Structure 1
Amino acid sequence: MKTLIWLCACLCALAMPAQAEGFLRTEGTRIVDAKGQPVILRGMGLGGWMLQEGYMLELPQFGTQSRIRAEIEALIGPDKTQAFYTAWLDTHTTRADIDAMKRWGFNSVRLPMHFALFTLPVDKEPVPGQDTWLEDGFRRTDALLDWAKANDLYLILDLHAAPGGQGNDINISDRDPTKPSLWQDPAHQAKMVSLWRKLADRYKDEPYIAGYDILNEPNWGFADASDRNGCQEKGNAPLRELMVRTTKAIREVDQRHIIIIEGNCWGNNYAGVLDGGLWDPNMVLSFHKYWNFTTRDTLTTILTLRDRYQVPVWLGESGENANTWFSETIRLVESEGIGWAWWPLKKIGYNNPLQIKPNAGYLKLLDYWAGKGSKPSAAEAEAALMQLATQDVAYAHNLHRPDVVDALFRAAHSDESVPFRSHYLLAKGGSLPAADFDMGRNGIAYWDTTAANLYVSTGGKGVTWNPLQAYRNDGVQLGQDKTGLYVTQMVAGEWLKYSFVAQQSGRYTLSLDAEGGVFDFSVNGGPAVKAPATVPLKAGSNSVVVRIVKPGSRLRRLVFTKR
């Protein structure tokens, strides 16, 4: 409990409160508040709420929300499918989630919007060329804004799924590849521009809106169709033209909010986009960062643009990695005065602050969709899906991952480790689970040779830093059997640090519950000794570092016995 209180206090101290006394704006290379004070946005993206991506539901084979919806309809019919999606939107993100974000230390939230919650698709408009507005999306955005305001959090509106879809990575925009994309149909572009004008008119007087992220991760080869995601694009003229046009429409009704733009190639290719200079004086360049090194040279391109055009830059999306990568990346960008928005708040998966734990019926559905199980009845499928949408996704039912929150805030700025859980040794001794090593960056709380996924920089395969994909998101390989958790896949030279409290000082024999291997350890910074050995402990706080000399198959516990 003391550790938890201490951690909360540290997080509150680190987080800059977002007191929205006026509109955010740009000033040189910084985002500033109404008083001209620099603001570093520390945010989280609400991925999976208004727009589902297949991997977040353990359905990568379906990918897009439209495909997922079609598969659900095939099982339970369109009416019950609609009930599922309504319940999903009602439950996935609520005031409780935003309250928690404030407690953890965030000062902003990025809302990934699906255009179809706000307006009909082009091919479903009863009158071609006219826009039918749907209140559901606006109502839900209003509610989110109210929750954000109650917590002094800024809200960034992000068009994640544009009409027609903005790229060949179809999952992120729910694009149907059999139909014209955003770039192939002027009617889609007109609807996107019209939607942003509508949103800007609705929120023009809201200082808690930080800005408009007008198009998430465009990825399209304009000059060369074989350059499917636009990473080699040199001109990007259609992208610039659409963003200029959208900005103009916004400025017809809203002169105050920041305009956030993203380059091609998932937000990072700005070649040609800024030819002719910036087209608005209150603009921010967003970039996205995934699975690469955490060194300053990885920011060279975006920092060059920042300095050349004297414009603020913002890490608009990042995440999906190990805790140490989170901390190192945030440490890097904040050292440059750059804010960030992590991705996502929750999913069926373990490397986010909240984890959705699906019910047994949904797991059977996953087996069926994967071709590994029998087809459920309509009643069974409906029950499983409605339990997922009304209970499993709810904040109160999510698994909370404090190590991820620690990585995003405390560990990003601290060269010390803290206990993963509070452990107390009684006068007669006790034990520490090997999986409960400290929280902190790689090299501070532990040392592991495969601590994060860096496949974009290394050109190799992705690294699974914790094959168990459960319990915690640190770069130490864990396993589990009927006796509990254990550390596995050890490499000579790797080490783990444990902090704990001893009730009584004295000499204790420290032995390791391990299968094979040779280990040494040092207590309270003392000399390394081979396990088992007898060592002195202080009354109060102590630490021990366990080092792998020769790997074993499993390390289960550290056992202390009073002499």
Structure 2
Amino acid sequence: MANCFSRQRVEGFLHTQGRIMVNGKGEEVILRGWGMGNWNNPEGFMVGGTNGLQDWGEDFRLPGRMDRARSMSATIAELCGSAYRDGFWPRWYRNYLGEKDIAQVAEDGYNSIRLPLCAWAFLPEEPGYNWNEDSFAMLDQILDWCEQYRIYAILDLHAAPGGQSGIACDDGLDNVPHMFEAENYERTIRLWEELASRYKDRWIVGGYDLLNEPLSPPQWDYLLPQLSRFYDELIARIRKIDRRHMLSIEGHRFSSRLEIFDQDMDPECHNWCIHVHCYGASPEPGSMMGYLAKSAELNVPVWLGETNGSNDWMATFFEMHVQYHIGFNMWCFKVADQPGISHHGYGFPLPEDWALVRDYCEGGTKPSFEKSQAIFDQLLENVKLENCRRIDLESDKHILRRPGIAIPAVSYDPVPGRGLSFDGGYAYGNLFDFRLADGMHIMPEPGYVAPDKPHWTQFMKKKPGRDHRAPWRSRLLLGLRDGSFACYTIRDVAQPCPLALDYYADEEAELLVEIPGCPERAVLLAPSTDKPQRIELGTIPEGEAVQVKLTVASGRARLQNIRFGC
């Protein structure tokens, strides 16, 4: 892309200033990036192994083969021998995340990555504190590339000593958060002290993500006071070493709950952000209100540090976050290319004989050492970026809200709000309970019948964070009449692009189109009730963020999609 606006401000230490993040020059930076899952902390379902998921009601479960980093390591030793296993990990780290990967993130237009760290890769699980210098050298090289390509790197302790989450992604022994036991508690703090000592002067490190998804299943809620105490002690000890780096702090229940944020978490420096994760919530401001309110209360930014979804969902939800000065980080950049994957960045092919490994993990016959080593050698080659495929060639446009996409008309700008980015003059709500607070006329497309609202008992069966309305969200239209309006923003416009509209109209309607740098123009919308019409509205100029305004001055129209360059 000719203009990578999001990377132009990657300069100097990233820090907080009230409710925004700024660079070393005091310029606002909105993080838009990718999580490098699998790199230093592999997860079974993303590498072609087992998924490692468990029912939240279980209190104990041993990990399965190939469901997390430690079980993957044990399986490799069983199949290939311990010497091969010891040599595998340095090769995996360097092949999985190399210079080409960082360059591609920059080429795709992003300004940040989240680096998930596994504790034992840097601090082996043995008595004392014997640092793995090879792992630190590998991390140093990645940071050098990030600096070269202008990409902020967030250090994310994804798998703390003993495990902090109680699920497979924390690489724990048995899905119990043993990090809160005395020895692991101290080792976690010592690891962060070591990271802070080594990287306190590296501005390209955008921040320290202290713990990924602590205490995720609800059975561990009773440890919340210990989590609060841990954060207090950890932050105080980090600040004795490093007062410049931003701290990114996550709550419990898969980083969705906010109870932990009851005070200034960084009282010495006030340089921290609330870090939340979200998958599939309804793409409307109401889904953000909890952490927006907490952000205002504590005067700190929010970072959507892990997220993913369909293209239309991302184009809508991420833009809402950006308008509220909230950055986002997609999970994840590279995964095994297998049936059912979607919305990730790149897929690596599994080795031809990978079924032999899977069969062994499920109790089948063990392949020979020679055969197993050949399979894992091939895996190490396959994870290099040059051997991967882009999973969805169009996703970057939606994630970054760039030209080449169509967005639903109900995805109008939430900011600066009623009377400015939308009129808000409709008083009767809608059958879908969608963006009710906005006072906009939202309706189904012709012939579509709104589903019955689920009884509350059906909601109890839904997993947290999932939007029960998703199947019909794409069937909504925005009704405008007699002066009502809505605004839409497109970003990273490197060259002028056409603007078009898909609409229905019960009668002839006059549409006023306002595009920055162009005179206001009136467009006549012809009647169309049974199928949508498409009409060209003008040309969007170059710019980092370009907002257009559509007003139905007379008549009535139902807007379906706004098309930017497609």
TM normalised by structure 2 equals 0.67
Q: Alpha-carbon deviation of 1:311?
A: 0.8
Alignment of 1:58-457 (within 5 A): 58=48, 59-60=50-51, 62=64, 63-121=67-125, 124-125=126-127, 130-169=128-167, 171-177=168-174, 181-184=178-181, 186-219=182-215, 227-230=218-221, 236-275=224-263, 278-280=266-268, 281-319=270-308, 321-348=309-336, 349-370=341-362, 374-390=365-381, 392-400=382-390, 401-410=392-401, 415=406
Q: Alpha-carbon deviation of 1:356?
A: 1.2
Q: Cα distance 1:276–1:345, how it changes in 2: closer, same or farther (>3 A)?
A: closer
Report the AA paired with residue 398 of structure 1. Answer: C
Q: Alpha-carbon deviation of 1:253?
A: 1.6
Q: What residue in structure 2 maps to residue 521 of structure 1?
A: none
CA contact (8 A) 1:236 1:273 kept: no
CA contact (8 A) 1:30 1:337 kept: yes
SS of equivalent residue, structure 1 residue 74: helix
Q: Cα distance 1:287–1:276, how it changes in 2: closer, same or farther (>3 A)?
A: closer
The alignment yields a C-alpha RMSD, in angstroms, of 3.9
CA contact (8 A) 2:316 2:407 kept: no
Structure 1 residue 57 corresponds to structure 2 residue 55: no
SS of equivalent residue, structure 1 residue 228: helix
Report the AA paired with residue 210 of structure 2. Answer: I
C-alpha distance in structure 2 between counterparts of 1:87 and 1:340, whole Å: 30
C-alpha distance in structure 2 between counterparts of 1:460 and 1:264, whole Å: 20
SS of equivalent residue, structure 1 residue 360: coil
Q: What residue in structure 2 maps to residue 440 of structure 1?
A: none
C-alpha distance in structure 2 between counterparts of 1:178 and 1:325, whole Å: 32
Q: Alpha-carbon deviation of 1:275?
A: 4.1
Q: Cα distance 1:13–1:459, how it changes in 2: closer, same or farther (>3 A)?
A: farther
Q: What residue in structure 2 maps to residue 31 of structure 1?
A: 21
Q: Cα distance 1:412–1:249, how it changes in 2: closer, same or farther (>3 A)?
A: farther
Moved more, 277-286 or 33-42: 277-286
Report the AA paired with residue 79 of structure 1. Answer: A
C-alpha distance in structure 2 between counterparts of 1:178 and 1:285, whole Å: 25
* 1:122-147 alpha-carbon deviations (Å, 9 max, x no partner): xx11xxxx411111221111011001
C-alpha distance in structure 2 between counterparts of 1:240 and 1:253, whole Å: 21
Report the AA paired with residue 41 of structure 1. Answer: L
Q: Cα distance 1:493–1:23, how it changes in 2: closer, same or farther (>3 A)?
A: closer
Q: Alpha-carbon deviation of 1:269?
A: 2.1
Q: Alpha-carbon deviation of 1:34?
A: 2.2
Q: Cα distance 1:269–1:100, how it changes in 2: closer, same or farther (>3 A)?
A: same
SS of equivalent residue, structure 1 residue 31: strand
Report the AA paired with residue 175 of structure 1. Answer: G
C-alpha distance in structure 1 between counterparts of 2:261 and 2:351, whole Å: 46
Report the AA paired with residue 34 of structure 1. Answer: G
Q: Figure out how many residues of one structure are paired with residues of the other and give that number.
A: 424
Q: Alpha-carbon deviation of 1:493?
A: 8.3
C-alpha distance in structure 1 between counterparts of 2:85 and 2:365, whole Å: 20
Q: Which runs of 5+ in 1 are unaligned?
A: 1-7, 222-226, 418-442, 451-456, 463-474, 477-491, 495-524, 531-563
Q: Alpha-carbon deviation of 1:305?
A: 0.8
Q: Alpha-carbon deviation of 1:193?
A: 1.1
Q: Which runs of 5+ in 2 are unaligned?
A: 53-63, 409-443, 452-457, 464-469, 477-525, 532-566
CA contact (8 A) 2:165 2:176 kept: no
Q: Cα distance 1:152–1:164, how it changes in 2: closer, same or farther (>3 A)?
A: same
Report the AA paired with residue 156 of structure 1. Answer: I
C-alpha distance in structure 1 between counterparts of 2:18 and 2:293, whole Å: 14
Report the AA paired with residue 318 of structure 2. Answer: I
Q: Cα distance 1:399–1:248, how it changes in 2: closer, same or farther (>3 A)?
A: same
Q: Cα distance 1:460–1:19, how it changes in 2: closer, same or farther (>3 A)?
A: same
Q: Cα distance 1:324–1:460, how it changes in 2: closer, same or farther (>3 A)?
A: farther
Q: Cα distance 1:412–1:315, how it changes in 2: closer, same or farther (>3 A)?
A: farther
Q: What residue in structure 2 maps to residue 513 of structure 1?
A: none
C-alpha distance in structure 2 between counterparts of 1:76 and 1:351, whole Å: 33
C-alpha distance in structure 2 between counterparts of 1:94 and 1:325, whole Å: 30
CA contact (8 A) 2:45 2:51 kept: yes
SS of equivalent residue, structure 1 residue 131: coil
C-alpha distance in structure 1 between counterparts of 2:155 and 2:265, whole Å: 24
CA contact (8 A) 2:6 2:30 kept: no
Q: Cα distance 1:214–1:272, how it changes in 2: closer, same or farther (>3 A)?
A: closer
C-alpha distance in structure 1 between counterparts of 2:361 and 2:191, whole Å: 35
Q: What residue in structure 1 maps to residue 8 of structure 2?
A: 17
C-alpha distance in structure 2 between counterparts of 1:296 and 1:181, whole Å: 37
* 1:380-419 alpha-carbon deviations (Å, 9 max, x no partner): 22111110012x10100001132222221135996469xx
C-alpha distance in structure 1 between counterparts of 2:278 and 2:298, whole Å: 21
Q: Cα distance 1:328–1:412, how it changes in 2: closer, same or farther (>3 A)?
A: farther
C-alpha distance in structure 2 between counterparts of 1:136 and 1:303, whole Å: 41
Report the AA paired with residue 284 of structure 2. Answer: T
C-alpha distance in structure 1 between counterparts of 2:247 and 2:27, whole Å: 19
Q: What residue in structure 1 maps to residue 34 of structure 2?
A: 44
SS of equivalent residue, structure 2 residue 367: coil
Report the AA paired with residue 183 of structure 2. Answer: A
Q: Cα distance 1:178–1:340, how it changes in 2: closer, same or farther (>3 A)?
A: closer
Q: Alpha-carbon deviation of 1:289?
A: 0.7
C-alpha distance in structure 2 between counterparts of 1:289 and 1:353, whole Å: 18
TM normalised by structure 1 equals 0.67
C-alpha distance in structure 2 between counterparts of 1:35 and 1:206, whole Å: 16
CA contact (8 A) 1:14 1:410 kept: no
Q: Cα distance 1:346–1:117, how it changes in 2: closer, same or farther (>3 A)?
A: same
